[in-house]
Amino acid sequence: MDRTGLLIILSSPSGAGKSTLARRLMDWDPSLRFSVSATTRPPRPGEVEGQHYYFTTPGAFRQMVEQGQMLEYAEVFGNLYGSPRAPVEAAMRDGRDTLFDVDWQGGQQIRASALGGHVVSIFVLPPSLPELERRLRARGQDSDAVIAGRMEKSRAEISHWAEYDYVLVNDDLDQTEGQLRAILTAERLRRDRQGGLGRFVKHLMEEHA
């Protein structure tokens, strides 16, 4: 069946398991395309153009925004980050789904774009805030002040849970991965997303007419 690719938005507070789940989902289905962001910050050692980011200048980035070539964008610590539209549209035409690892603000912008009708949005919650804080501390990367800031930001993120199509509580990584697979499978099989279904049924009905 012909199918237009989906835009899969995966959001969660930091530490809820979003990045791990995204990697697992792409290991399960290698046809999934991960949305590579454009940024105005300089490349870090080891970062590859087109694989980790599309590196560009502030002027070129803002021109893309003005021309409607960004599905979503934001300024973070003085640098611009955004999701270019053209690679997503190319994947859609090929029937490939694109996975977005974005926050609620990025999700809002994508849903409000011209491609919003192809969006499936999923929010991942932690089993509890104490468990979320424990996971952040287990990383051993941040000071108490940074963790406190992340926890405050997490509360703000969680407050937007009702804007999403699906909400999962990640208290068991394997179970949550299975739920993600089920969501993606079901969304792909929706009648209105199977472009060649009408032609197939017509042929089916005419076989022994």
**pTM (two decimals):** 0.88
Does the annotation list 121 as a binding residue?
Answer: no
Does the annotation list 198 as a binding residue?
Answer: no
Does the annotation list 42 as a binding residue?
Answer: no
- Report pLDDT for 192: 87
- Report pLDDT for 110: 97
Return averaged pLDDT per consecutive 10 residues of the chain, 209 residues in all. Answer: 90 92 96 95 93 95 96 92 96 95 94 95 96 90 88 94 97 97 96 87 85
- Report pLDDT for 141: 79
Q: What is the CATH number of domain 7-34+97-206?
A: 3.40.50.300
The H helix count followed by the E strand count for the chain is 8, 9
Does the annotation list 18 as a binding residue?
Answer: yes
Domain ranges, ordered by start, for the chain: 7-34+97-206
Contacts of 91 (CB under 8 A, 6+ apart): 5, 33, 97, 98
